[in-house]
Structure 1
Amino acid sequence: MWFGHMKRQDISAADAVDEYLRLGETTTRLCVENFVEGIIYLFGDEYLRRPTPADLQRLLDVGEYRRFPRMIGSIDCMHWEWKNCSTAWKGQYSRGSGTLNDINVLDRSHVFDDIIKGHTPEVTYYVNGREYHMTYYLTDGIYPKWVTFIQSTQLPQGSKAVLFAQRQEAVRKDVERAFGVLQARFAIVKNPALFWDKVKTGKIMRACIILHNMIVEDERDGYTQYGPSKFQQAEDNGSSHVDLDFSTDMPTNIANMMGVRIRIRDRQMHQQLKDDLVEHVWFKFGHDEDNN
């Protein structure tokens, strides 16, 4: 079928199996549209929701176990070619200067909206003896130097910088593997998008992400879990903590939102956090390097 079986690695045109399935191209496309609409309607609220405080605590536990305290994951973009993009829109949805590269996607993203509006749980953690209050993602070098982004070190000089770059890049591969798993499971997002409508194309991607998240949740019991007990054994007795009872009454006025934006984009704080993480990683792994 045009939608693609989960195990298939190729994809066919919508009318390639007319005689075999007795379905025309129009009917096949309609089946796909109804299927993704149903998946989004039934499961979207649960599997595309924002992290709850419990989810956030689990992410912090994983980050702590990976020796990056207060790290809640890696952030990146996946480019899905739109083969049937309208001629009038050519270039607006492709890679390159002035198009939807990682930076422009970030500008359109809502990932930091809750932080800016003050609607996120309060988190406290310590790195190299210093207290911080804002979670961060590991990224590649194209992202800006914000407090919420920690990049690797280009051309690292010295043992500490080299070790930090190795550890940061090793952990950040998780997000690239996640995109690879998503594309391996669903051939429809591995190959160029054949729909003419960008709204329908977006819904197909959302439906595939929902199904992917359902599979991850179903198989999670078989994975190694980084719960609080294991986290406390591996780290500083729980240096990252989410206040599960926290609720904010901070008014969402322009002054407060601008203040949060300024704190997020504080380059000095970004560099201080990165320096502390370099020292933290060296303290945890430096003796292994010395033994080698």
Structure 2
Amino acid sequence: MDSDSDYVLVLRTLLSATQYMIYERGEKRFRISRNLCLHIARDLECNYEFFQLPWDARGKCGFTTIQKCTTALRQLAYGITADASAYRAKHGFPGILGSINCTHWEWANCPNEWRGQFTRGDHEVLTVILEAVVSQDLWFWHAFFGMAGSNNDLNVLQASPLFNNILQGKAPDMSYVLNGNEYKYEYHLADGIYLEYATFVKSYSFPADEKRKLFKLAQESTWNDVERAFGVLKQKWHIIKHPART
């Protein structure tokens, strides 16, 4: 938005549509007429760049105007945050931003003088490391790329800017209550190599009861989202392994 007044205008337009909410079977449901929704979408698309259909560098289109308007109206109608109806509700982890992990990306044309620092014993090829925080919808909230393949996940974490926003007081407020305690900032699901930070939620190595076993299952299944994202990313982009022609 160009100014605060533009933001207020859009917000009022969307809020005016939420009066068409109806109640069925005791549940509050989001529903407005099709014509009204299309009318709002057309007005917003004509006046605000954010609601227009974007295209990325690969020529792929992003979210449509209808998708963006529907999402905004749903949030206003239900009074929820942007990701509450998708990632948090799906996995049952309030306040989560995503899952964190590192992956090794093969570097076929690494210069000979650098081979030592980009080689690690458990990988047969030369690699560059990518650290990322990814949500269930394959959205990359954080990416730090370029560390030599000889490093491990902790070395990469120490060099990455992951916690800069929190340390500088610029992190978004994602307040939530868990077990009677209120927390302000997001956290990430991580595997066993990461340290015992408040921003990391790890699985139990040896769960002693059914409650811990259930948590271990939920945590590990959710954490696999980042591995799935790495698989999709590597299938789409081969420029590191097979560099593009100049």
> What residue number does 1:81 align with?
106
CA distance in 2, matches of 1:60, 1:96: 42
**1:63-114 superposed Cα distances (whole Å, 9 cap, x missing partner):** 4302111111101112111122122222323445992221112122112111
Counterpart residue identity of residue 120, structure 1:
A
Which of residues 195, 199, 206 in structure 2 aligns to 1:155? 206
CA distance change for structure 1 residues 134 and 110 in 2, over 3 Å: closer, same or farther? same
Q: Work out which structure has the larger RCO, using CA pairs closer than 8 Å and 6 or more positions apart in sequence.
A: 1
When normalised by structure 2's length, the TM-score is 0.51
More helix by share: 1
Say if 1:59 and 1:73, in contact at 8 Å, map to a contact too.
no
> What residue number does 2:160 align with?
109
Is 1:67 the counterpart of 2:82? The answer is no
Pairwise mapping of residues 265-280 of structure 1 onto structure 2 (< 5 A)?
Answer: none
Q: Which moved more, 1:97-106 or 1:132-141?
A: 97-106
CA distance in 1, matches of 2:151, 2:167: 23
Say if 2:88 and 2:94, in contact at 8 Å, map to a contact too.
yes
CA distance in 2, matches of 1:126, 1:77: 29
CA distance in 2, matches of 1:92, 1:59: 39
**1:166-205 superposed Cα distances (whole Å, 9 cap, x missing partner):** 000011111111111112223445xx3558xxxx9xxxxx
More strand by share: 2
Say if 2:187 and 2:199, in contact at 8 Å, map to a contact too.
yes
- Unaligned 5+ segments in structure 2 are 1-55, 61-71, 73-80, 123-148
Say if 1:70 and 1:136, in contact at 8 Å, map to a contact too.
yes
Which of residues 93, 96, 106 in structure 1 aligns to 2:118? 93
Percent of counterpart pairs with the same letter? Answer: 41
Say if 2:192 and 2:202, in contact at 8 Å, map to a contact too.
yes
> What residue number does 2:34 align with?
none
